[in-house]
Amino acid sequence: MTGMPDMTISVAALLAAGQWELLIQVAMSALIFFCLFFLVIGVFGQAGEVHLSPERASALATGHSDRTTVFENAFFRPPLWLLLVATHRFSAPRLKGWIRRQLVATGNQNYYTPEEYLALSLMVGIICAVVLEVGNILATGNLSVTLPIVGLLGGVILAIAQLHSTASKRARLISKRVPYALDLIALAMGAGATFIEAVKTIVREDQADPFNVELRTLLAEMELGTTRRKALQNLAERIPLEELRSIIASVIQAEELGTPLGDVLHDQATLLRLQRSVHAEQAAAVASVRILIPCLLLVLAVVLAVFGPAILRVIRRGLF
């Protein structure tokens, strides 16, 4: 009871002395402390709910080992769970659909869902924001509002761009591999093998080849009861290559019309080689035009180096 009047007197004395700024700073510090305290309790006091993607559930059901990513790490799980909840509530169906297609195109060995990859992208953005803000404080000694925002957006865009780059690189590798794989399948079928036997012969050669990985998925779907037409359509959906989609459409049409599949695959492989030759000639023609600019710059640099002193002498003293 004796402490309350003293506290009232001290606060009244501070107010009388005009110490408003000190009281505001104390109140803000206490508010920030309690907010951080309840945030830590709320994040680290909950384990989070695990959502298994259909691909991951199928892999676990068929005996494959579970993934080991940052989501399974005990240290990173609480903050990532908080970001994952935010991405689940974030309504962006087009963005999530695009990320899902890009993840499928990369092979998605870690079975990430679009929400999980968005959470990882946000984590990268937060790290970039913290690094930029700390660097700004060490360099200038002042806080900045724009740098954390730039770092957050830059980190998210960088992570999404990395995903797109990985998917494009894998698609280019598959594009280079397709004509040779079609030729080998056609040769095996010409020797008397069935389509499944020919594909099994191809995938035994290089286990790490991206196209062989997709062909193994094709075989697994057919062994589980999926029709060959549906499995081929799934293959076309997984790989974002227009030429592969046209080949699969030709194969499905050949099955409907009763055309020998080996001949169709051989013709499609020959057509792909011709298209690649045309693209190479077009790239060479464009490169020959683009290389003119650096060649002209080199010639100009040589001319200036040889005739530069004479030109300067004429400018300073005149022609005669």
Domain of 183, CATH number, reads 1.20.81
Residue at 42 is within a domain: no
What integer best gives the mean pLDDT of the chain? 78
Residue at 210 is within a domain: yes
With beta carbons less than 8 A apart as the criterion, state whether 183 and 206 touch: no
Question: Residue 113 above 50 pLDDT?
Answer: yes
CA distances from 200 to 28, 184, 189 (A): 68, 11, 12
Residue at 156 is within a domain: no
Tens-digit pLDDT profile for residues 206-263: 777 888 888 888 888 888 888 888 888 888 888 888 888 888 888 888 878 777 777 7
Rounded to an integer, the average pLDDT of 21-33 is 67
Nearest to 219 by CA among 191, 242, 185, 192: 185
Q: Which two tokens stand for residue 5?
A: 């009047």
Angle formed by the axes of helices 93-105 and 146-190, nearest 10°: 50
Question: Residue 150 above 80 pLDDT?
Answer: yes
With beta carbons less than 8 A apart as the criterion, state whether 211 and 174 touch: yes
Residue at 300 is within a domain: no
Residue at 111 is within a domain: no
Block residue for tokens 């790239």? 283
Residue at 59 is within a domain: no
pLDDT of 234: 86
Top pLDDT among 31 and 226 is at: 226
Q: Which two tokens stand for residue 180?
A: 């040779």
Q: How many domains does the chain have?
A: 1
Nearest to 164 by CA among 236, 98, 90: 98
CA distance 58 to 280: 41
Domain span at residue 256? 177-290
Query: What is the distance, to the nearest Å, from the Cα of residue 151 to the centroid of all Cα atoms in its chain?
Result: 18
- Please, how many CA atoms are within 13 Å of residue 302, restricted to the half-sphere of its CB? 5
Q: CA 228, 233, 236, 237 torsion: positive or negative? A: negative
Q: Between the ranges 123-132, 187-196, 212-221, 277-286, where is the mean pLDDT highest?
A: 123-132
